[in-house]
Structure 1
């Protein structure tokens, strides 16, 4: 996951902005990550730094069994002991629909960690897989997660500060995935994270490989030839770590729009802006 973006090369290749994530990215990424773990190797954000247990206690890995019978992967954010926020694309990308999902929590590896069954998925009622408008979904776990220093929820912005853009603030993206566009099997730590600066709205718009029709609900982090989002990070968290010295991680974005040209092509990564959806998120907790 280069740049700050979680390991989600989620490059929605196709006629539309968003359709096709699972076949283009998620399914092959699931097979690749599983093969690496079988060889005791790992995946990571391109240009990122290896994480230790507890660095990203809110990070959720998501294993999705599609109706086609294939497996795909995404990321998400633990918000309560039973709720995980992710991208709507992870459940329905315009072509493929999820049949069953499991969430991996508190693990450095995606396939070998402790898993929680997903009892239900609520996709935003106005989600559009072609434009990626309202690209959010809430997953409800069948059983509550066991919280600890290595596993605890991120927290949401105060509604009173909903107009704050976070432009210029340093944020962290984390996930399981590629370290570059040419990532090969090698023994490295699986979970990675990277710190980057949140872009202003106009910079965000002009630096995306695919510009959304409505950018008011999107925020961005810059791309670079040394970093960017890769692999299985779609739906994962963009947070302000240790917010106001509290030791807690403030969720500000959900990975949604990535470059279709690769992890390190210098295009910005787009995130669904959490402050624009606080009412929807809270109503589904």
Structure 2
């Protein structure tokens, strides 16, 4: 059994047309992942101090993507609540409830380690953030970074999304979830194709649109990766942002932040020594 990595944290005391995907905290109808399949995938809980009259507990939050030994990419809207004090990050996990799972490590850091895009707003424009880790993550079979996209390269239009969000919504609209990582393959729509779904009011070049299907990212998948395979590498094209109905249905496209639009921002805010080139 592999030891867990826990870093410094003493716990304190004792729509307008679309919906963010982390209010409930899965890939609807997705496939169950296996160990080592998505080594770049992370998840984090948050410690929110909004109500100090209630017991302070870790709350499920969002996914993210490891892109170097010190940097995780995620969604800005996961940190829109001002009283988040700390985050607990799961690396190398498939069953995040199993603390003794082989390959799983955990790391807790303070909110000050998070950098939210300075022009993020409630319309989910610039919905991107990064988490700067205080120590290097040790790479192995279970934990490896994804590659950032490169300008000028034409990537495949089929991509994999993964996450620990809601995995089923019943007929009476009750969500179902478990602690297992799920994934599915999606078709990326062109800008013109996405406009046909009448979501153009929110569609800009810095966003990616996924074709509706029987599968969909759902609440709790926010911040997670949209990955394509290119020359043997896992390339991070998008960060899970939002869905239009908030009901995780197949009626409308789901929208991701386009990572290629933020490469300069990522390099500027990660720090020169924190990205593996």
Q: TM-score, normalised by structure 1?
A: 0.76
2:85 aligned with 1:99? yes
The 1:185/1:169 distance shift into structure 2, 3 A limit, reads: closer
Computed over aligned residues only, the root mean square deviation of the Cα atoms, in angstroms, reads: 2.5
The 1:51/1:214 distance shift into structure 2, 3 A limit, reads: closer
Q: Which residue is equivalent to 2:143?
A: 151
The 1:214/1:90 distance shift into structure 2, 3 A limit, reads: same
The 1:261/1:126 distance shift into structure 2, 3 A limit, reads: closer
Out of 93, 102, 119, the position equivalent to 1:126 is 119
Give the paired residue count.
Answer: 240
Per-residue CA deviation, residues 127-175 of structure 1 (Å, 9 max, x unaligned), is 11x21111111101232222112110000112343xx5x4x61110011
**Gaps spanning 5+ residues in structure 1: where?**
1-13, 30-43
Q: Is the 8 A contact 1:131 1:212 kept in 2?
A: no
Q: Which residue is equivalent to 1:269?
A: 254
**Gaps spanning 5+ residues in structure 2: where?**
1-14, 52-56, 100-104, 271-277
Q: Is the 8 A contact 1:109 1:176 kept in 2?
A: no
Counterparts in 2 of 1:27-42, with a 5 A limit?
A: 28-29=24-25
C-alpha deviation, 1:197, in angstroms? 1.3
Q: Is the 8 A contact 2:146 2:234 kept in 1?
A: yes
Q: Which residue is equivalent to 2:130?
A: 138
2:34 aligned with 1:63? no
2:107 aligned with 1:116? yes
Q: Which residue is equivalent to 2:217?
A: 229
Larger Rg: 2
Q: 1 or 2 for the larger relative contact order (CA 8 Å, sep ≥6)? A: 1
Q: Is the 8 A contact 1:237 1:255 kept in 2?
A: yes
Return the alpha-carbon distance in structure 1 between the equivalents of residues 150 and 82 of structure 2.
Answer: 35
Return the alpha-carbon distance in structure 1 between the equivalents of residues 202 and 227 of structure 2.
Answer: 25
C-alpha deviation, 1:15, in angstroms? 4.1
Q: Is the 8 A contact 1:180 1:264 kept in 2?
A: no
Return the alpha-carbon distance in structure 1 between the equivalents of residues 49 and 245 of structure 2.
Answer: 25
Return the alpha-carbon distance in structure 2 between the equivalents of residues 261 and 273 of structure 1.
Answer: 20
2:31 aligned with 1:49? yes
Q: Which residue is equivalent to 2:10?
A: none
Return the alpha-carbon distance in structure 2 between the equivalents of residues 96 and 260 of structure 1.
Answer: 25
Out of 200, 209, 227, the position equivalent to 1:239 is 227
Q: Which residue is equivalent to 1:194?
A: 184
**Structure with more helix by fraction:** 1
Return the alpha-carbon distance in structure 2 between the equivalents of residues 253 and 199 of structure 1.
Answer: 13
Out of 171, 175, 197, the position equivalent to 2:159 is 171
Please state whether the residue corresponding to 1:249 is helix, strand or coil.
Answer: strand
